[in-house]
């Protein structure tokens, strides 16, 4: 059925919401309540063309999952008005296209990629990726914690070569580094998580696919360079718990190697940069001004779970289980007692509760108050603020099995760099890790020991009233 712009404009609210994607008109009224990103993100485009907004975060095959009963007709896409925020985005995109990004060979550290990303990413993408909670104290302190630890180089060690290989949940990794779950990677590059998978495969790394991935897991798995390349699935527990069960079953069917349940964000943090950007976008009849991308994406996460959720997941799958978001030694011990395969010391990149302590400090808590965890079969990972090879080595020397990077992977995708940008970023990190292992006199990761670092400055921040 051919529809006119007037026909579609009559359906621009929560009671009747139509959107246009590639000339096809969909009635998504009933879908609003179950959209993983929340209803409000769709309502912005009610009665309008949502093609560019859809393509920026979704793979085309997602449309095939929509019931045919949602189709209402067709229209020439050029006849349908776009939203005001899309007009603003288009304007700024044209400005960026006039200035080509620098050649990858001129980028020599991970901070260079961040600067490029800030310049070339759309404003809403930069705000979503970069923003931290409140005053962003935790975000900054994550990095500062590493600067408080000094290395203790050794001389005359005769190191002809170094081996950076390790094992993450039984899967080989060429570096003690993995791709942390990062949502909506299509904001950074059209290939999104698929570009990350391609780069990770060629570099021999593990990738954790975000619960809010812009690419379906089946497509990401097809991008792998071999069937043995490990992809793990992140899991947020949905308010409608059956949706989380479906995520686990779908991941296991697709061939995921582990489930990483994220527990450090039961509610979304107050990410003011993200929210402030959206103040410029007019609110819909049911939208709240200042509703950032992060808050909309997290609207379906359930805050009503406890440690028993691990028992529930174990009933769904036998895949290895990692708890991501441990922020104190007490919870690290509880996780161990529940028999998980791994934990991630993380404060969500400083995006949840501001002034939450740096994950590196949590690692020192474990060393002091529960050292048996470091000798157990439970692997300990850490993320947040890692930008240098020396950061990686400090974490490993203090007992971490591997470290996760999130934002650097997104930043290296941006400005059109895609897979090549990610591989360039990893080559820089790899070189820093290898060179500094030589300085420390270590030929492999197992030779990285606590005595290779001086953590006295950071240890002064340890509390003395922990009760286990």
417 given a catalytic annotation: no
- Which of 26, 128, 129, 236 is labelled catalytic? 236
Annotated catalytic residue 123: no
How far is Cα 91 from Cα 266, in angstroms, rounded to an integer? 36
8 Å CB contact between 353 and 336: no
The single residue of 274, 348, 401, 417 carrying the catalytic annotation is 348
45 a catalytic residue: no
122: left (phi over 0), alpha (psi -120 to 50) or beta: beta
Torsion of CA 388, 392, 395, 396, to 10 degrees: -160
373 Cβ contact list (under 8 Å, min separation 6): 332, 333, 336, 366, 380
For residue 433, give the nearest of 397, 405, 391 by alpha carbon. Answer: 391
Distance CA 259, CA 247 (A): 10
The single residue of 264, 331, 354, 383 carrying the catalytic annotation is 264
Provide, for the chain, the percentages of residues in helix, strand and coil under a 3-state DSSP scheme, each rounded to the nearest 5. Answer: 45, 15, 40
- Answer whether 339's CB lies under 8 Å from 319's CB: no
Give me Rg for the CA atoms of the chain: 23
With CA atoms as reference, report the closest residue to 384 among 154, 195, 194, 136: 136
Active centre residues (catalytic): 236, 264, 348
């Amino acid at each position: 059925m051919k529809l006119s712009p007037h026909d579609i404009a009559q359906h621009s609210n929560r009671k009747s919401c139509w959107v246009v994607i590639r000339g096809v008109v969909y009635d998504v009224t009933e879908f609003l309540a179950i959209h993983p990103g929340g209803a409000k993100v769709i309502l912005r485009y009610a009665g309008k063309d949502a093609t560019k907004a859809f393509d920026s975060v979704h793979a085309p095959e997602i449309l095939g999952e929509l019931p045919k009963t949602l189709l209402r007709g067709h229209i020439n896409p050029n006849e349908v008005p776009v939203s005001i925020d899309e007009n603003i985005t288009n304007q700024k995109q044209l400005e960026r296209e006039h200035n080509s990004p620098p050649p990858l060979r001129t980028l020599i550290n991970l901070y260079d990629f961040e600067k490029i990303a800030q310049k070339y990413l759309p404003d809403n993408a930069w705000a979503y990726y970069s923003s931290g909670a409140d005053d962003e104290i935790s975000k900054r302190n994550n990095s500062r914690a590493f600067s408080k630890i000094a290395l203790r180089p050794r001389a005359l060690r005769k190191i002809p070569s170094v081996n950076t290989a390790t094992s993450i949940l039984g899967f080989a990794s060429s570096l003690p580094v993995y791709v942390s779950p990062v949502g909506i990677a299509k904001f950074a590059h059209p290939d999104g998580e698929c570009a990350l998978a391609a780069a990770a495969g060629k570099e021999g790394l593990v990738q954790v696919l975000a619960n809010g991935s812009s690419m379906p897991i089946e497509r990401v798995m097809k991008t792998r360079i071999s069937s043995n390349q490990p992809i793990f699935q992140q899991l947020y527990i949905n308010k409608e718990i059956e949706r989380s069960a479906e995520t686990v079953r779908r991941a296991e069917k697709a061939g995921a190697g582990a489930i990483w349940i994220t527990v450090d964000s039961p509610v979304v943090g107050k990410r003011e940069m993200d929210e402030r950007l959206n103040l410029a976008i007019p609110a819909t009849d049911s939208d709240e001004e200042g509703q950032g991308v992060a808050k909309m994406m997290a609207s379906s996460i359930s805050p009503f779970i406890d440690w028993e959720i691990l028992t529930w997941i174990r009933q769904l799958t036998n895949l290895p289980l990692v708890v991501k978001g441990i922020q104190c030694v007490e919870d690290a011990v509880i996780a161990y007692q529940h028999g998980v395969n791994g934990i991630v010391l993380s404060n969500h990149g400083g995006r949840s509760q501001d002034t939450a302590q740096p994950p590196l400090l949590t690692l020192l808590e474990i060393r002091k108050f529960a050292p048996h965890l470091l000798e157990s079969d439970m692997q300990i990972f850490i993320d947040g603020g890692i930008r240098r090879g020396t950061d990686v080595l400090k974490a490993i020397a203090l007992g971490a099995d591997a470290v996760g990077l999130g934002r650097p992977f997104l930043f290296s995708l941006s400005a059109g760099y895609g897979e090549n940008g990610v591989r360039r970023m990893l080559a820089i990190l790899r070189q820093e890790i290898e060179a500094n292992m030589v300085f420390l006199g270590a030929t492999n990761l197992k030779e990285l020991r606590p005595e290779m670092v001086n953590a006295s400055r950071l240890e002064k921040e340890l509390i003395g009233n922990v009760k286990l």
